[in-house]
Amino acid sequence: MSTNDRAWVATRKGLFELRRRGGTWAIEHASFLGEPVSMFLPPSPGDSRMLASLTTGHYGTKLHASEDAGRTWAEVATPTYPTQPAGAEGPEWKLVLVWALERAGDTVWAGTLPGGLFRSADFGRSWQLVESLWNRKERLGWFGGGYPVPGIHSICAHPRRTGELLLGISCGGAWTTRDDGQTWALTASGMRANFMPPEMAGDPNIQDAHRIVRCAAAPDTLWCQHHGGIWRSTDNAASWHEITAAPVSSFGFAVAVHPHNPDVAWFVPAEADQRRVPVGAAMIVNRTRDGGATLETLREGLPQRHAYDLVYRHGLAVADDGEGLLMTSTSGGLWASTDAGDRWQTVSLNLPPAAAVRFG
């Protein structure tokens, strides 16, 4: 099984497995039909295990694990916050949502609302809150972005250095550990939040980094789709620099970076934060191939009339070959490209509202 030919889409009413056969993507299997799936962890090469996070309307978040690439599932432990001390400031210590799931070696990391990072050494059978981050005083300066409470949506493991992670937080900037979660540093210098009072706009701790991705082959390069535009770092988040060349719009949520070429990245713009629909009701993807010096707008095969789809943070994915792309929207659209976004094919326009798409 090539990781370029299989993928999953997490939606408000189930987790859908996709296969590409004969060059065409199709929905092949549904898990948890009717249940909201907020995030999942796809299989990795040589390992068929998966995790899926259900956000049930009545009974809270529940995690399920699969040993057979999503054919059968069994409930495992839910990340659970410890007892909240009396008088503790900040949001309630209650799990709202699992927003990110990533594996790094034998560790699985879960980013959550209201801002806690959890780790599991036994693939979800038990979870531990990373208290070194949760107890940082700066956490009380974070606030919600898209939800009433802050959340960790991006977990970028360093592919070569065990124990190094970068987190993206809405709204809490970007944080890095280089000692497996023992200590943390705020690494969002250079980002700017124009929605804040002027004297706070450059505060790294309140940046709304909508999504951060790391280039697997050049891990010092990170791309960020920020609430206020596009930022890039080429020094492993020591500094961030705004990319101002995006045509049409630089507002959006999703970003994907080519796994082998750090200069190639894709974005899915919406009009603006106060009107979160495609500009002119026409779906587009912006792509740079030169590190952000220029971006081009790709439209072929995407709906260009009366399209009101929003692609959320995890709604854009790139395959290992750097050519395959999948994109899914909160209106239930799903599009695929096999040529790095030059042309797109519609896979479905009738999915439930989609939260995430991933190859695996």
Verify binding: residue 160, other proteins, rule CB under 8 A.
Answer: no
81 vs 308 by CB, closer to other proteins: 81
44 vs 56 by CB, closer to other proteins: 56
List the one residue from 94, 125, 161, 260 that touches other proteins (CB under 8 A). 94
31 vs 236 by CB, closer to other proteins: 31
Residues 6+ apart with CB under 8 A from 279: 248, 249, 269, 270, 271
Q: What is the DSSP string of 96-115?
A: -EEEEEEEETTEEEEEEETS
**Least gap, CB of 289 to other proteins (angstroms):** 42
**Least gap, CB of 216 to other proteins (angstroms):** 35
Distance separating alpha carbons of residues 63 and 332, to the nearest angstrom = 23
95 vs 336 by CB, closer to other proteins: 95
**Least gap, CB of 355 to other proteins (angstroms):** 16
> Nearest-CA neighbor of 326 among 99, 40, 102, 25?
25
Count the neighbouring beta carbons within 10 Å of the beta carbon of residue 54. 25
Strand ordering across the sheet containing 185-186: 151-157, 165-170, 173-177, 185-186
116 vs 360 by CB, closer to other proteins: 116
Task: Report CA-CA distances (Å) from 120 to 31, 106, 130, 154, 182.
Answer: 23, 9, 10, 17, 15
152 vs 256 by CB, closer to other proteins: 152
Count the neighbouring beta carbons within 10 Å of the beta carbon of residue 75. 11
48 vs 80 by CB, closer to other proteins: 80
Distance separating alpha carbons of residues 54 and 38, to the nearest angstrom = 6
Sign of the Cα torsion 347, 11, 31, 17 reads positive
Q: How many residues bind other proteins (CB under 8 A)?
A: 17
- 297: its two tokens: 């707008």
Binding mask 52-81 for other proteins (x = CB under 8 A): ----xxxxx-x------------x--x-xx
**Least gap, CB of 44 to other proteins (angstroms):** 27
Verify binding: residue 83, other proteins, rule CB under 8 A.
Answer: yes
Count the neighbouring beta carbons within 10 Å of the beta carbon of residue 275. 9
95-134: which residues touch other proteins (CB under 8 A)? 95
61 vs 205 by CB, closer to other proteins: 61
**Least gap, CB of 35 to other proteins (angstroms):** 9
Distance separating alpha carbons of residues 64 and 53, to the nearest angstrom = 6
Verify binding: residue 135, other proteins, rule CB under 8 A.
Answer: no
List the one residue from 3, 30, 93, 136 that touches other proteins (CB under 8 A). 93
Binding mask 284-313 for other proteins (x = CB under 8 A): ------------------------------
- 241: its two tokens: 């620099």
CA 354 and chain centroid, separation: 12
Q: Which positions touch other proteins (CB under 8 A)?
A: 56-60, 62, 75, 78, 80-84, 92-95
